[in-house]
Chains A and B, each alone.
Chain A
Amino acid sequence: GENVEQHPSTLSVQEGDSAVIKCTYSDSASNYFPWYKQELGKRPQLIIDIRSNVGEKKDQRIAVTLNKTAKHFSLHITETQPEDSAVYFCAASRTAAGNKLTFGGGTRVLVKP
């Protein structure tokens, strides 16, 4: 089955700096890669996603890049703000497998004011 590795597990950045989280996946047939943000005690919520026919996607301060050949994708947060502090999860799935999401282990991001 799919295996998703996520690094780093914790990330501390100064407010205004950029944060980068990287994930690798094992199943070359995976075609959907979402990123979720989870605040303490709350449900994960989608912040951005990318499909395998696209190499990069941007939404304001958040961007995701995908390298299908290397089987890795990354989340980039620019101009970080204290409200960006949360746990971020990457995930991968493929349509033929019932859209089951396999999650990475998560990255705890702390933005210091």
Chain B
Amino acid sequence: SQTIHQWPATLVQPVGSPLSLECTVEGTSNPNLYWYRQAAGRGLQLLFYSVGIGQISSEVPQNLSASRPQDRQFILSSKKLLLSDSGFYLCAWSFTGDTEAFFGQGTRLTVV
């Protein structure tokens, strides 16, 4: 069976510091991978998605970037965090096609 791992679960970072959140999927090959952000009490906003190694599409211009160095690894990064980057970040994966997305447990990021 497939599993998705996302870490860390919580993170407190000062403004201006870098960020690296990692997500890995096990038990499948060539998954679609996604990064979503959820602001407090709000919906899920798609940040990046990837259909293959090195293929990244950005949905919203912002202070973040994503990379997919391996088939089942998806990394969310920032060089300098802003206060507005605070939120609940969720990694997800899906099979190619119109099937459900499976979410990781999420990372609660607080920028102070």
Residues of B within 8 A of A (CB): 32, 34, 36, 42-46, 49, 51, 57, 59, 90, 94, 96-101, 103-106, 108
Chain A to chain B: the 4 pairs with minimum beta-carbon distance, closest first: A32-B98, A43-B103, A105-B43, A103-B44
Are B97 and A103 in touch, CB under 8 angstroms? no
Give chain B nearest CB distance to A107 CB in angstroms: 10
Total contacts A-B at CB 8 Å: 58
Which of B45, B49, B97, B99 neighbours the largest number of chain A CB atoms within 10 Å of its CB? B99
A6-B42 Cα distance, complex, nearest whole Å: 12
The reply to whether B46 and A51 contact each other, CB–CB distance below 8 Å, is no
Q: Would you call B49 and A51 a contact (CB within 8 A)?
A: no
Q: Are A95 and B97 closer than 8 Å at their CB atoms?
A: yes
Is A31 a contact of B43 with CB atoms below 8 Å? no
Q: Which of A89, A99, A102, A104 contacts B98 (CB 8 A)?
A: A99
The one of A43, A102, A106 in contact with B46, judged by C-beta atoms closer than 8 angstroms, is A102
Chain A residues with CB below 8 A from B94, complex form: 99
Question: Contact: B98 with A43, CB < 8 Å?
Answer: no
B97 neighbours in A (Cβ, 8 Å): 95, 99
Cβ of B36: which chain A residues have Cβ within 8 Å of it?
Answer: 103
Interface size on A, residues (CB 8 A): 25
List B contacts of A31 (CB < 8 A).
98
If A49-B100, A98-B49 are given as contacts, then 18 extra A-B residue pairs at C-beta distance below 8 Å, sorted by A number, are A34-B100, A43-B104, A43-B106, A44-B90, A44-B103, A45-B103, A46-B101, A51-B98, A95-B97, A98-B51, A99-B98, A99-B99, A101-B34, A101-B44, A103-B43, A103-B44, A106-B42, A106-B43
Sampled A-B contacts (22; CB under 8 Å):
A6-B43, A34-B100, A34-B101, A43-B90, A43-B103, A43-B104, A43-B105, A43-B106, A45-B103, A46-B101, A51-B98, A95-B97, A99-B32, A99-B94, A99-B96, A99-B99, A100-B59, A101-B34, A101-B46, A102-B46, A103-B36, A104-B43
A94 touches B44 (CB 8 A): no
Q: Which residues of B contact A44 (CB under 8 A)?
A: 44, 90, 103
Query: How close is A6's CB to chain B, nearest CB, in angstroms?
Result: 8
